[in-house]
Amino acid sequence: MLLSAGRRRGALIVLAAIVCPLARAAEHVTLKNGFELDCARREMRGDHMRLYFTSADSTNRGAAEGSGANYMDVAADAVVRVEIIPDPPVVADVMPAHREPAKQHAAAASVLTREEMHTMLANAGGEHNIDADLLASVVKAESGGQVRAVSRVGAQGLMQLMPKTAGELGVEDAFQPEENIAGGTAYLDQLLTRYNNNVALALAAYNAGPAAVDRYHGVPPYRETRAYVARVIREFNRRKRMAGSGQQVAQAK
Protein backbone atom coordinates (compact mmCIF):
# COMPACT_ATOMS: atom_id res chain seq x y z
CA MET A 1 0.00 0.00 0.00
CA LEU A 2 1.36 3.44 -0.93
CA LEU A 3 2.00 6.33 1.43
CA SER A 4 -0.87 8.67 2.16
CA ALA A 5 -0.59 12.19 0.76
CA GLY A 6 0.28 13.58 4.19
CA ARG A 7 2.99 11.03 4.91
CA ARG A 8 4.46 11.39 1.43
CA ARG A 9 4.55 15.16 1.84
CA GLY A 10 6.50 14.82 5.07
CA ALA A 11 8.89 12.38 3.47
CA LEU A 12 9.49 14.72 0.56
CA ILE A 13 10.26 17.71 2.75
CA VAL A 14 12.84 15.68 4.68
CA LEU A 15 14.27 14.23 1.49
CA ALA A 16 14.77 17.69 0.03
CA ALA A 17 17.31 18.41 2.73
CA ILE A 18 19.05 15.08 2.10
CA VAL A 19 19.21 15.12 -1.67
CA CYS A 20 19.96 18.76 -2.51
CA PRO A 21 23.41 19.02 -0.95
CA LEU A 22 24.51 15.89 -2.82
CA ALA A 23 23.76 17.20 -6.29
CA ARG A 24 26.62 18.74 -8.19
CA ALA A 25 24.67 21.19 -10.33
CA ALA A 26 24.96 24.98 -9.95
CA GLU A 27 23.47 26.28 -6.70
CA HIS A 28 21.43 29.31 -5.63
CA VAL A 29 22.71 30.46 -2.24
CA THR A 30 20.86 32.67 0.25
CA LEU A 31 22.76 34.36 3.08
CA LYS A 32 21.54 35.52 6.50
CA ASN A 33 21.54 39.13 5.38
CA GLY A 34 19.17 38.32 2.52
CA PHE A 35 21.86 38.48 -0.17
CA GLU A 36 21.41 35.87 -2.91
CA LEU A 37 23.73 34.60 -5.61
CA ASP A 38 24.30 31.68 -7.95
CA CYS A 39 27.49 29.72 -7.42
CA ALA A 40 29.21 26.93 -9.31
CA ARG A 41 30.64 25.36 -6.15
CA ARG A 42 31.41 25.92 -2.48
CA GLU A 43 34.41 25.03 -0.36
CA MET A 44 35.31 25.46 3.32
CA ARG A 45 38.47 27.49 3.97
CA GLY A 46 39.17 27.56 7.68
CA ASP A 47 36.37 29.38 9.49
CA HIS A 48 34.74 30.73 6.33
CA MET A 49 33.20 29.44 3.13
CA ARG A 50 34.27 30.44 -0.37
CA LEU A 51 31.45 30.70 -2.91
CA TYR A 52 32.55 30.52 -6.53
CA PHE A 53 30.24 32.40 -8.88
CA THR A 54 28.82 30.92 -12.03
CA SER A 55 30.23 32.54 -15.19
CA ALA A 56 27.15 34.77 -15.61
CA ASP A 57 27.00 35.84 -11.98
CA SER A 58 30.76 36.41 -11.91
CA THR A 59 30.46 39.07 -14.62
CA ASN A 60 27.61 40.81 -12.82
CA ARG A 61 29.31 40.75 -9.41
CA GLY A 62 32.62 41.97 -10.83
CA ALA A 63 30.95 44.90 -12.57
CA ALA A 64 28.96 45.80 -9.48
CA GLU A 65 31.86 45.57 -7.08
CA GLY A 66 34.61 46.86 -9.36
CA SER A 67 36.50 43.62 -8.94
CA GLY A 68 37.47 40.77 -11.22
CA ALA A 69 37.19 38.16 -8.46
CA ASN A 70 35.06 35.15 -9.29
CA TYR A 71 34.35 34.21 -5.68
CA MET A 72 33.10 35.59 -2.38
CA ASP A 73 34.19 34.62 1.14
CA VAL A 74 31.52 34.49 3.85
CA ALA A 75 31.33 33.25 7.41
CA ALA A 76 30.66 29.53 7.63
CA ASP A 77 27.31 30.08 9.35
CA ALA A 78 26.20 32.85 6.97
CA VAL A 79 24.63 30.46 4.46
CA VAL A 80 21.02 29.77 5.39
CA ARG A 81 19.73 28.08 2.24
CA VAL A 82 21.15 26.31 -0.81
CA GLU A 83 18.98 25.35 -3.78
CA ILE A 84 20.09 23.38 -6.81
CA ILE A 85 19.68 25.07 -10.19
CA PRO A 86 18.84 22.14 -12.49
CA ASP A 87 19.19 22.12 -16.23
CA PRO A 88 15.81 22.62 -17.93
CA PRO A 89 14.15 19.50 -19.34
CA VAL A 90 15.05 18.78 -22.95
CA VAL A 91 12.06 19.28 -25.22
CA ALA A 92 12.28 18.68 -28.94
CA ASP A 93 9.24 19.48 -31.07
CA VAL A 94 9.60 16.49 -33.32
CA MET A 95 7.47 13.48 -34.16
CA PRO A 96 8.65 9.93 -34.85
CA ALA A 97 8.74 9.19 -38.57
CA HIS A 98 6.72 5.98 -38.22
CA ARG A 99 3.62 7.70 -36.80
CA GLU A 100 0.65 7.91 -39.15
CA PRO A 101 -0.25 11.41 -40.46
CA ALA A 102 -3.66 11.36 -38.75
CA LYS A 103 -2.10 10.67 -35.33
CA GLN A 104 0.56 13.31 -35.92
CA HIS A 105 -2.16 15.88 -36.54
CA ALA A 106 -4.10 14.83 -33.46
CA ALA A 107 -1.02 15.10 -31.26
CA ALA A 108 -0.07 18.48 -32.74
CA ALA A 109 -3.51 19.84 -31.94
CA SER A 110 -3.50 18.52 -28.38
CA VAL A 111 -2.93 21.39 -25.93
CA LEU A 112 -4.01 20.96 -22.34
CA THR A 113 -5.55 23.68 -20.23
CA ARG A 114 -4.61 23.83 -16.55
CA GLU A 115 -8.01 22.38 -15.67
CA GLU A 116 -7.64 19.48 -18.11
CA MET A 117 -4.18 18.68 -16.78
CA HIS A 118 -5.39 18.80 -13.18
CA THR A 119 -8.32 16.49 -13.94
CA MET A 120 -6.11 13.90 -15.66
CA LEU A 121 -3.54 13.97 -12.88
CA ALA A 122 -6.20 13.76 -10.17
CA ASN A 123 -7.88 10.80 -11.88
CA ALA A 124 -4.60 8.93 -12.35
CA GLY A 125 -3.46 9.76 -8.83
CA GLY A 126 -6.75 8.62 -7.36
CA GLU A 127 -6.52 5.29 -9.16
CA HIS A 128 -3.02 4.60 -7.83
CA ASN A 129 -3.23 6.47 -4.50
CA ILE A 130 -0.50 8.90 -5.51
CA ASP A 131 -0.71 12.61 -4.68
CA ALA A 132 -1.68 14.58 -7.79
CA ASP A 133 0.82 17.29 -6.82
CA LEU A 134 3.61 14.73 -6.94
CA LEU A 135 2.49 13.69 -10.43
CA ALA A 136 2.30 17.33 -11.51
CA SER A 137 5.84 17.85 -10.22
CA VAL A 138 7.07 14.89 -12.26
CA VAL A 139 5.33 16.21 -15.38
CA LYS A 140 6.93 19.63 -14.93
CA ALA A 141 10.40 18.14 -14.48
CA GLU A 142 10.02 15.66 -17.32
CA SER A 143 8.42 17.72 -20.08
CA GLY A 144 7.48 21.15 -18.77
CA GLY A 145 3.89 20.22 -19.63
CA GLN A 146 4.66 19.79 -23.33
CA VAL A 147 2.37 17.10 -24.78
CA ARG A 148 4.69 16.45 -27.74
CA ALA A 149 7.98 16.52 -25.83
CA VAL A 150 10.63 14.11 -27.11
CA SER A 151 14.00 13.76 -25.34
CA ARG A 152 17.34 13.12 -26.99
CA VAL A 153 17.06 9.45 -26.07
CA GLY A 154 13.53 9.09 -27.40
CA ALA A 155 11.37 9.45 -24.27
CA GLN A 156 7.96 10.76 -25.24
CA GLY A 157 5.11 12.89 -23.97
CA LEU A 158 4.19 14.54 -20.71
CA MET A 159 5.78 11.95 -18.42
CA GLN A 160 8.54 11.07 -20.90
CA LEU A 161 7.89 7.37 -21.41
CA MET A 162 10.43 5.34 -23.33
CA PRO A 163 8.72 3.40 -26.15
CA LYS A 164 9.55 0.01 -24.60
CA THR A 165 8.23 1.05 -21.19
CA ALA A 166 5.13 2.58 -22.76
CA GLY A 167 4.45 -0.69 -24.59
CA GLU A 168 4.82 -2.72 -21.40
CA LEU A 169 2.34 -0.38 -19.69
CA GLY A 170 -0.20 -0.73 -22.49
CA VAL A 171 0.25 2.84 -23.76
CA GLU A 172 -0.52 2.79 -27.47
CA ASP A 173 0.03 6.50 -28.15
CA ALA A 174 2.46 8.27 -25.82
CA PHE A 175 1.46 11.63 -27.32
CA GLN A 176 -2.13 11.30 -26.12
CA PRO A 177 -2.03 13.07 -22.73
CA GLU A 178 -4.46 10.85 -20.85
CA GLU A 179 -2.72 7.67 -21.99
CA ASN A 180 0.71 9.07 -21.19
CA ILE A 181 -0.29 10.21 -17.71
CA ALA A 182 -2.02 6.90 -16.99
CA GLY A 183 1.08 4.98 -18.08
CA GLY A 184 3.55 7.23 -16.25
CA THR A 185 1.50 7.07 -13.05
CA ALA A 186 1.26 3.29 -13.24
CA TYR A 187 5.03 3.10 -13.70
CA LEU A 188 5.69 5.43 -10.74
CA ASP A 189 3.30 3.26 -8.70
CA GLN A 190 5.37 0.18 -9.57
CA LEU A 191 8.56 1.94 -8.52
CA LEU A 192 7.09 3.16 -5.22
CA THR A 193 6.03 -0.40 -4.47
CA ARG A 194 9.43 -1.76 -5.49
CA TYR A 195 11.27 0.64 -3.18
CA ASN A 196 8.87 0.41 -0.24
CA ASN A 197 7.45 3.90 -0.79
CA ASN A 198 10.87 5.55 -0.70
CA VAL A 199 9.99 8.52 -2.87
CA ALA A 200 13.57 9.58 -3.61
CA LEU A 201 14.51 6.10 -4.83
CA ALA A 202 11.34 5.82 -6.92
CA LEU A 203 12.06 9.17 -8.57
CA ALA A 204 15.69 8.22 -9.15
CA ALA A 205 14.57 4.98 -10.79
CA TYR A 206 12.06 6.87 -12.91
CA ASN A 207 14.91 9.01 -14.21
CA ALA A 208 17.86 6.62 -14.39
CA GLY A 209 16.17 3.23 -14.33
CA PRO A 210 15.77 0.68 -11.51
CA ALA A 211 19.01 -1.07 -12.48
CA ALA A 212 21.05 2.03 -11.61
CA VAL A 213 19.31 2.45 -8.25
CA ASP A 214 19.83 -1.22 -7.42
CA ARG A 215 23.49 -1.08 -8.49
CA TYR A 216 24.29 1.82 -6.15
CA HIS A 217 21.81 0.80 -3.43
CA GLY A 218 20.41 4.31 -3.44
CA VAL A 219 20.17 7.42 -5.58
CA PRO A 220 22.88 6.98 -8.26
CA PRO A 221 25.78 9.47 -8.18
CA TYR A 222 24.69 10.95 -11.49
CA ARG A 223 24.47 14.74 -11.59
CA GLU A 224 21.37 14.65 -13.80
CA THR A 225 19.55 12.13 -11.60
CA ARG A 226 20.31 13.86 -8.31
CA ALA A 227 19.31 17.22 -9.74
CA TYR A 228 16.12 15.63 -11.10
CA VAL A 229 15.13 14.14 -7.73
CA ALA A 230 15.79 17.47 -6.00
CA ARG A 231 13.84 19.34 -8.70
CA VAL A 232 10.74 17.17 -8.32
CA ILE A 233 10.82 17.31 -4.52
CA ARG A 234 11.31 21.08 -4.51
CA GLU A 235 8.39 21.57 -6.91
CA PHE A 236 6.18 19.27 -4.83
CA ASN A 237 6.98 21.22 -1.66
CA ARG A 238 6.33 24.51 -3.49
CA ARG A 239 2.89 23.31 -4.56
CA LYS A 240 2.02 22.24 -1.02
CA ARG A 241 3.14 25.57 0.40
CA MET A 242 1.00 27.41 -2.15
CA ALA A 243 -1.97 25.18 -1.40
CA GLY A 244 -1.52 25.83 2.33
CA SER A 245 -1.35 29.59 1.78
CA GLY A 246 -4.51 29.45 -0.32
CA GLN A 247 -6.39 27.59 2.39
CA GLN A 248 -5.31 30.12 5.02
CA VAL A 249 -6.54 33.00 2.85
CA ALA A 250 -9.86 31.27 2.24
CA GLN A 251 -10.36 30.63 5.96
CA ALA A 252 -9.61 34.28 6.78
CA LYS A 253 -12.37 35.56 4.47
Rama region for 119: left / alpha / beta (φ>0; ψ in -120 to 50; rest): alpha
Question: What are the sequence ranges of the domains in the chain?
Answer: 5-17+88-240, 26-85
Q: What is the dihedral of CA 97, 103, 109, 112, to 10 degrees?
A: -100
Cite the active site residues: 142
Mind listing the pLDDT tens digit for each residue in 41-74? 888 888 888 888 764 444 334 433 334 457 788 8
Report phi then psi at 49, rounded to 5: -115, 135
Spatial contact of 9 and 240, defined as CB atoms under 8 Å apart: yes
Question: What's the pLDDT at 64?
Answer: 36
What per-residue confidence (pLDDT) applies to 178?
96
Prediction pTM value: 0.60
Strand partners of residue 79: 31
Task: Determine the topology of domain 5-17+88-240 in CATH.
Answer: Lysozyme (1.10.530)
Which phi and psi angles does 81 have, rounded to 5°? Answer: -155, 140
The mean per-residue pLDDT over the stretch 90-106 comes to: 40
Q: What pLDDT is recorded for position 138?
A: 98
The amino acid that residue 73 corresponds to is D
Q: What's the average model confidence in pLDDT over 32-42?
A: 76
